[in-house]
Protein backbone atom coordinates (compact mmCIF):
# COMPACT_ATOMS: atom_id res chain seq x y z
CA UNK A 1 0.00 0.00 0.00
CA UNK A 2 2.79 2.38 0.91
CA UNK A 3 4.46 1.79 -2.48
CA UNK A 4 1.22 2.66 -4.31
CA UNK A 5 0.87 5.91 -2.36
CA UNK A 6 4.52 6.78 -3.07
CA UNK A 7 4.09 6.05 -6.76
CA UNK A 8 0.89 8.07 -6.89
CA UNK A 9 2.53 10.98 -5.07
CA UNK A 10 5.51 10.88 -7.42
CA UNK A 11 3.26 10.79 -10.49
CA UNK A 12 1.13 13.66 -9.16
CA UNK A 13 4.21 15.75 -8.39
CA UNK A 14 5.62 15.12 -11.87
CA UNK A 15 2.31 16.10 -13.48
CA UNK A 16 2.04 19.30 -11.46
CA UNK A 17 5.64 20.23 -12.17
CA UNK A 18 5.13 19.74 -15.91
CA UNK A 19 1.89 21.75 -16.06
CA UNK A 20 2.27 25.42 -16.99
CA UNK A 21 1.39 27.88 -14.25
CA UNK A 22 -0.94 29.74 -16.59
CA UNK A 23 -1.86 29.24 -20.22
CA UNK A 24 -0.58 32.06 -22.39
CA UNK A 25 -2.31 33.42 -25.48
CA UNK A 26 -0.11 35.62 -27.69
CA UNK A 27 -3.13 36.70 -29.77
CA UNK A 28 -4.89 37.96 -26.65
CA UNK A 29 -1.58 39.52 -25.62
CA UNK A 30 -1.48 41.51 -28.88
CA UNK A 31 -4.81 43.03 -27.89
CA UNK A 32 -3.46 43.87 -24.43
CA UNK A 33 -0.43 45.46 -26.08
CA UNK A 34 -2.64 47.59 -28.33
CA UNK A 35 -4.80 48.79 -25.44
CA UNK A 36 -2.15 49.17 -22.75
CA UNK A 37 1.25 49.76 -24.38
CA UNK A 38 1.05 51.39 -27.81
CA UNK A 39 0.56 54.87 -26.43
CA UNK A 40 4.26 54.78 -25.46
CA UNK A 41 5.85 51.71 -27.10
CA UNK A 42 6.17 50.30 -30.60
CA UNK A 43 6.52 46.62 -31.51
CA UNK A 44 8.62 47.63 -34.54
CA UNK A 45 12.38 47.23 -34.41
CA UNK A 46 14.14 50.60 -34.15
CA UNK A 47 10.91 52.59 -33.74
CA UNK A 48 11.09 54.29 -30.37
CA UNK A 49 8.26 56.46 -29.11
CA UNK A 50 8.05 57.97 -25.63
CA UNK A 51 9.22 54.54 -24.50
CA UNK A 52 11.70 52.27 -26.26
CA UNK A 53 10.68 49.79 -28.95
CA UNK A 54 9.66 46.50 -27.40
CA UNK A 55 10.83 44.50 -30.40
CA UNK A 56 13.17 41.85 -29.02
CA UNK A 57 12.54 42.90 -25.42
CA UNK A 58 12.38 39.34 -24.07
CA UNK A 59 15.96 38.42 -23.21
CA UNK A 60 17.28 41.97 -23.56
CA UNK A 61 19.12 43.80 -20.80
CA UNK A 62 17.36 46.86 -19.42
CA UNK A 63 18.45 50.24 -20.73
CA UNK A 64 20.42 49.02 -23.74
CA UNK A 65 18.72 50.37 -26.88
CA UNK A 66 21.13 52.79 -28.50
CA UNK A 67 20.01 56.41 -28.87
CA UNK A 68 17.15 56.05 -26.40
CA UNK A 69 17.15 58.21 -23.28
CA UNK A 70 16.60 55.86 -20.34
CA UNK A 71 16.39 56.86 -16.70
CA UNK A 72 19.51 56.15 -14.68
CA UNK A 73 17.36 53.73 -12.67
CA UNK A 74 16.58 51.68 -15.76
CA UNK A 75 20.11 51.79 -17.14
CA UNK A 76 21.60 50.71 -13.83
CA UNK A 77 18.95 48.17 -12.80
CA UNK A 78 20.95 45.19 -14.06
CA UNK A 79 17.72 43.52 -15.14
CA UNK A 80 17.30 41.13 -18.02
CA UNK A 81 13.77 41.11 -19.36
CA UNK A 82 12.96 37.43 -18.99
CA UNK A 83 9.39 36.24 -18.41
CA UNK A 84 9.59 36.33 -14.60
CA UNK A 85 11.14 39.80 -14.52
CA UNK A 86 8.63 41.14 -17.04
CA UNK A 87 5.81 39.70 -14.95
CA UNK A 88 7.03 41.47 -11.82
CA UNK A 89 7.75 44.72 -13.70
CA UNK A 90 4.43 44.80 -15.52
CA UNK A 91 2.65 44.27 -12.21
CA UNK A 92 4.27 47.35 -10.65
CA UNK A 93 7.06 49.06 -12.62
CA UNK A 94 8.01 51.53 -9.87
CA UNK A 95 8.37 48.78 -7.28
CA UNK A 96 10.75 46.79 -9.49
CA UNK A 97 12.73 49.79 -10.79
CA UNK A 98 12.41 52.66 -8.32
CA UNK A 99 13.12 55.88 -10.17
CA UNK A 100 11.93 54.64 -13.57
CA UNK A 101 10.47 57.29 -15.85
CA UNK A 102 7.71 54.87 -16.89
CA UNK A 103 4.48 56.30 -15.51
CA UNK A 104 2.40 53.15 -16.09
CA UNK A 105 0.89 51.99 -12.79
CA UNK A 106 0.90 48.32 -13.71
CA UNK A 107 -1.25 45.54 -15.07
CA UNK A 108 -2.81 43.74 -12.12
CA UNK A 109 -4.58 40.99 -14.11
CA UNK A 110 -2.23 37.96 -14.09
CA UNK A 111 -3.80 36.39 -17.19
CA UNK A 112 -3.45 39.59 -19.21
CA UNK A 113 0.19 39.87 -18.09
CA UNK A 114 0.86 36.26 -19.13
CA UNK A 115 -0.78 36.89 -22.50
CA UNK A 116 1.13 40.14 -22.98
CA UNK A 117 4.44 38.45 -22.20
CA UNK A 118 3.56 35.67 -24.68
CA UNK A 119 2.98 38.35 -27.32
CA UNK A 120 6.21 40.18 -26.45
CA UNK A 121 8.02 36.86 -26.88
CA UNK A 122 6.90 36.78 -30.52
CA UNK A 123 8.55 40.12 -31.32
CA UNK A 124 11.81 38.83 -32.78
Residue 107 has pLDDT above 80, yes or no: yes
Residue 10 has pLDDT above 70, yes or no: no
Helix-strand-coil split of the chain, %, nearest 5:
45, 0, 50
Domains and CATH numbers, the chain: 22-122 (1.10.760.10)
Instruction: Express each pLDDT in 64-87 by its tens digit.
Output: 999 999 999 999 999 999 999 999
Per DSSP, 82 falls in state -
Q: Is the pTM above the cut of 0.75?
A: yes
CA distance 72 to 40: 19
- How far is CA 119 from each of CA 5, 15, 23, 28, 73, rounded to the nearest angstrom? 41, 26, 13, 8, 26
Amino acid sequence: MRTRISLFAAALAATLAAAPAMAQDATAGATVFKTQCTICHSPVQGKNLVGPSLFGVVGRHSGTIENFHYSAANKNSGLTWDEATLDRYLTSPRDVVPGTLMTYVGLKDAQKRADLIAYLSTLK
